[in-house]
Amino acid sequence: MDDQGTDAEAGPDAGWRALHADREAVERALSLAQARQRYGTDAEAIAQARLEEAELLVDLDRILTQIRAAEYRRRPGSRRW
């Protein structure tokens, strides 16, 4: 019977919340990479932060696309392709 509570918490919005948690984590990592570029003193570390920023931007774009798709699916009467 305890499992019913966790199932209700997971529900249809669990994926929605997980996407936003992923977005928040990527945005935080992106901010840190940008700070390392601005305030770093080691050229190699700055270059590494620049590469990390590029990878994180790709991840952020992917996650935001998934969020937009999830928002559309949440609308009443939305079509499924």
Q: Which pLDDT score is estimated for 81?
A: 59
Q: Which pLDDT score is estimated for 3?
A: 45
Whole-angstrom CA distances from 19 to 27, 44, 47, 56, 77 are: 12, 32, 29, 15, 22
Classified as helix, coil or strand, 28 is helix
Q: Which pLDDT score is estimated for 7?
A: 45
pLDDT in tens, 14-65: 888 899 999 999 999 999 999 999 999 999 999 999 999 999 999 999 999 9
pTM of the model: 0.76
Q: Which pLDDT score is estimated for 79?
A: 67
